[in-house]
């Protein structure tokens, strides 16, 4: 099965190192749009066979589209990166699934033949733009009880999942959080992380210029025992802690998408082929279950079952959200197919940028696992949504099974 129209492939994906969103964080003095520009420029350098004038679109996402994340990011990032002026661009907001939506939107345009190639990605500088920091929610949400009063607090929605599904215990969440840190540390040591990172020049008014080459959020050596006394910031006596949540993060991601025949014409080797994608809505107060219906729909569109999926990249907004997905599909907590290189609990979750990080990690895993034919990237989305993309491994051979 495939998307209607032309085959769409991901040729490359890259990201900045992720930094902690705080006053002394990696990118405290770096603009969000400059992070995105650095990623775009490096993608063009890495894929020199792609003439920039062949790009038909630049789609860039941010959850907070103001200040240095405003002014139609896709267009401004393209111009700042030196793309030809005739290459258009636009901005996207689907909160956490922004970059994922940027990818699927340009893929749809490629599939129907409107364009041949595109750049898609996302950026979030949460140090400058906290989630919902300048939002003005319509009072009808509360007065007419359109959503639960805690639907806009992501950590509270994670606590709600613990309430709704008693089998999702704190003990399981703690074990999952520690495992994410350990898997990321092992992947870093094995060389599976650094190849996708774009070095970023970072200014500091006191120390001058530096170079960001590694992720800042990971806490290697984290143990379940060390989590026991952590406070539960979203509810007194709750179950969600900093160790089972993705840290507030700054970072940018980008991907090169094109028609399979265009990639062949240019001599660019696809890293993944898009099979299907789907988005779904759920009750906002339990937004963490959003990936479940989205995945069911994506599998239906692809004519596949969950048993056909050999690798899962699930965004770890919270450990409980991943566990809810695993339980829904009968997958063990420690299944080696799930986030083999760790996830957002370790590396961070710069909201709209994270979807492409999932894709970069899946593409990296595909290269080492030719026996796997299909993989999934999936994530929950604030205000009660989920998004899933199913990908095919171009390195797959029947002989490797």
Q: Are 10 and 363 in contact (CB under 8 A)?
A: yes
Token pair for 237 = 């006596």
Reply yes or no on whether 349 is catalytic.
yes
Task: Note whether 350 and 356 are within 8 A (CB).
Answer: no
CB 387 within 8 A of CB 294: yes
List 129, 162, 380, 395, catalytic entry: 380
Catalytic residue, chosen from 96, 125, 192, 395, is 96
As a whole number of angstroms, the distance between CA 60 and CA 285 comes to 27
208 Cβ contact partners less than 8 Å away, ≥ 6 residues apart: none
Length of the chain measured in residues: 401
Helix/strand/coil for 179: helix
Element housing 210 (H / E): strand 208-212
Instruction: Identify whether 296 is a catalytic site residue.
Output: no
Q: Is 380 a catalytic residue?
A: yes
* Pairing status of strand 385-392 against strand 272-281: antiparallel
| From 125, 162, 192, 349, the catalytic residue | 349
- Report the SS3 class of residue 234: coil
Contact 368, 395 (CB under 8 A): no
- The rounded distance, in Å, linking the Cα atoms of 120 and 15 is 12
List the catalytic residues: 96, 349, 380
């Amino acid at each position: 099965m495939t998307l209607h129209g032309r085959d769409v492939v991901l040729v490359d994906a890259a990201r900045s190192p992720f930094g902690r969103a705080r006053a002394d964080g990696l990118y405290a003095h770096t603009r969000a749009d400059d992070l995105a520009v650095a990623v775009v420029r490096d993608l063009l350098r890495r894929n020199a066979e792609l003439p920039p004038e062949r790009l038909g679109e630049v789609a860039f996402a941010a959850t907070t589209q103001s200040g240095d994340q405003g002014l139609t990011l896709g267009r401004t990032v393209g111009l700042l990166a030196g793309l030809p002026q005739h290459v258009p661009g636009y901005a996207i907001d689907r909160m956490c699934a922004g970059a994922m939506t940027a990818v699927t939107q340009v893929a749809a345009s490629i599939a129907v033949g409107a364009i041949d190639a595109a750049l898609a990605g996302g950026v979030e500088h949460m140090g400058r733009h906290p989630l919902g920091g300048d939002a003005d929610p319509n009072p009808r949400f509360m007065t007419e009880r359109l959503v639960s009063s805690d639907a806009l607090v992501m950590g509270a929605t994670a606590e709600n999942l613990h309430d709704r599904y008693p089998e999702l215990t704190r003990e399981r969440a703690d074990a999952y959080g520690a495992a994410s840190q350990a898997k990321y540390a092992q992947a870093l040591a094995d060389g599976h992380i650094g190849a996708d990172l774009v070095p970023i020049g970072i200014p500091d008014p006191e120390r001058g210029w530096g170079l960001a080459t590694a992720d800042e959020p990971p806490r290697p050596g984290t143990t379940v025992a060390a989590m026991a006394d952590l406070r539960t910031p979203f509810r007194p006596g709750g179950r969600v802690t900093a160790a089972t949540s993705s840290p507030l993060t700054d970072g940018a991601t980008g991907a090169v998408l094109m028609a399979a025949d265009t990639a062949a014409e240019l001599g660019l080797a696809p890293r993944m082929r898009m099979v299907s994608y789907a988005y779904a809505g759920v009750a906002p107060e339990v937004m963490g279950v959003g990936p479940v219906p989205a995945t069911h729909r994506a599998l239906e569109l692809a004519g596949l079952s969950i048993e056909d999926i050999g690798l899962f990249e699930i965004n770890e907004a919270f450990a409980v959200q991943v566990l809810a997905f695993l339980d829904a599909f009968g997958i063990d907590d420690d299944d080696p197919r799930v986030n083999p290189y760790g996830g957002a609990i370790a590396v961070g979750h710069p909201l709209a940028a994270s979807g492409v990080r999932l894709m970069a990690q899946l593409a990296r895993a595909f290269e080492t696992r030719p026996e796997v034919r299909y993989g999934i990237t999936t994530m929950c989305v604030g205000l009660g949504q989920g998004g899933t993309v199913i990908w095919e491994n171009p390195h797959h051979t029947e002989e490797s099974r």
